[in-house]
Amino acid sequence: MDFFGFFRDDYFVVLLGLLEQPPFNIPDAEQEVVYGFLTEYSGTNYFLLNLSKFVEFMAVFAGAGALYMGAYKGLFFDSYWWFFLKMVAVAVVMITIRAATPRITLGQMLAFTWRYLMPLALLNLAWVLWARSLFFS
């Protein structure tokens, strides 16, 4: 997979939804008066829940860097610093999208999913099946 596949596929949009980041933070909106399921937690339990979210973010950034950006392969030399820089690049893109987009409602999310993401996923599946039958048979 290549770097541009990261933006070509719907992988990145699905990651934003998976991580429940804006605009897809429907079950866990910080703007609400009562903060979802986190209302009942405080102190150490709240810290551990937030820590688990940050660990999930790092796993997603590492997966995106490994799958789409060539892992630790660099321009001039191979190093794990390149992998770290690629993870930071994915994080910067996600933080920029998080800061630039408003929160959407559940109805808007479902409409967006059925109108755009589902056809993109089906086209991606058809493309992969076609390419596989063409090149691997």
Summarize pLDDT for 13-61 with one digit per residue, the tens: 777 777 777 777 765 555 555 656 666 777 888 888 888 888 888 888 8
Instruction: Give me the helices (H) in 69-105, please.
Output: 80-100
Neighbours of 90 (CB within 10 A): 21
What is the C-alpha to C-alpha distance for residues 130 and 111, in angstroms, rounded to an integer? 28
**Distance between CA atoms of residues 98 and 102, nearest Å:** 8
Q: Is the pTM of this model over 0.75?
A: no
Q: What is the pLDDT of residue 32?
A: 58
